[in-house]
Structure 1
């Protein structure tokens, strides 16, 4: 894969005046502008619907797109703006994202702002750090529930996140989310590119990976903690998703794989 070259050209702070709208800036080709809200209220259209955004929201504009511009005159938005030169026009993330923590987004933007103007920062390292962090934090696996999702799907995803370690299935997900089973499957097919069954499985496998790589909890206990009916089902599904057994995954990705046998012996967990 070709490495994407980026250069951070400027970082600034903007406080919108007490008006409903300011004139937006159209981004030139081969440039990208990233605006991170530090306060106030902003209105921005997502998939044909105007939504309200507040502190911590991240807007990523590529060449040809315009910057944010509509606000609440009684609480106008403030933002830190990062402007990059890029070698292609393929933005590697969503245009709008909400990171898991609004504080983290604002702290990151403030850090970049201070570093850029410190006079002693390694600008190449800062460019790489800023761009890669935004790309990672804005990815679907890191940001909060995708803002462009319909509300019924958001409800279903939230319910799954809170209950995937329990015995849930599409029927009770649909019931708790106040939508029909066929509509639930249609939403997942369109937006998640998978089925509710497989999405639940992905959440369970993800939690199991963390537990396997992070300690000596018995595998049988991990299976139960992650919502699997039995150890046999856990092994079968885990192997199908990762091409490794849970035991092999633990040996491969534990912090100290060279010492795994000794640690197992000390905890009397070998073979579990």
Structure 2
């Protein structure tokens, strides 16, 4: 199973407004996306938001206190984003993971059931340390871009059946590429559309239930096929040799079908 370890929450120890005062009349005159951030012109003022390296590439000034604060945020596994205007960084925003409740119990249950758990995340390696140190997680790939997640899933499929669990727009290509894509209910519409299964209650623990249902359904199908095969293996030779009364064979066939239907209608998972 492949899980996305994406960012879910953010806090901003830097200035809340580096580009303007939130006035609805603010005009964005240009916008450009870069590998490490974005830039643009807002009300005639050039604005840059992104990695400090983007500021260095453009020759902008980054005060030492901001560099130190950015380095400190990285050391605790956070993702800092510098914000500046008119040639200088004026503050920063720190984005961090808000781990889903029950994630440890879920990955432990999957590991115990024989599922190899791998985490793909676009975050820094330090932000993914909590996953890498967990015994139930076999591998962690950090700093993976959206297209990289789909490529990783494609490579993992060469090793066996691959299940992808995600909830963001960036996870959609990987969800579509996996043998089975599972989208969490609180995710984006694009993720839900790309997935094969959508968990409507948004509970991560339901992922383990999906695996249990799949295994139970497989066992039920095999049981029904086995019963039908046994009936045909016994009844057909007996009927062909005349040792089985045709009327009895017809009744037995109906009973066999009824048994299969009844078996299929039983709950796949017990309540206890």
- TM normalised by structure 1 equals 0.21
Work out which of the two has the higher radius of gyration on C-alpha atoms and give 1 or 2: 2
- TM normalised by structure 2 equals 0.21
